[in-house]
Amino acid sequence: MRRGIDGLAAIVKDKFDLDPEKYLKYLLYKLPNESTLTDKEALSAYLPWTKQVQASCR
């Protein structure tokens, strides 16, 4: 399991130039406030390449 987490952190850092810890904290803070986690459009706002995520997690 640890290798998967490290791999995800490396992808977030290398491909999207985000701080992996900030991105994880952002997701854990924001996602519980979503009314539904099955709405693909709402969840797409949390993808690492969106402007809001880029501004919040660098």
Quote the DSSP letter at residue 46.
G
Q: Tens digit of pLDDT for each residue in 22-41?
A: 999 999 999 998 888 888 88
pLDDT value at residue 37: 83
The amino acid present at 46, given as its one-letter code, is Y
Task: Compute the mean pLDDT over every residue in the chain, rounded to the nearest whole number.
Answer: 86
pLDDT value at residue 3: 64
Q: Quickly state the pLDDT bin for 42 (edges 50, 70, 90).
A: confident
For the chain, which residues make up each domain, given as ranges? Answer: 2-56
Q: 3-state class of 5 per DSSP?
A: helix
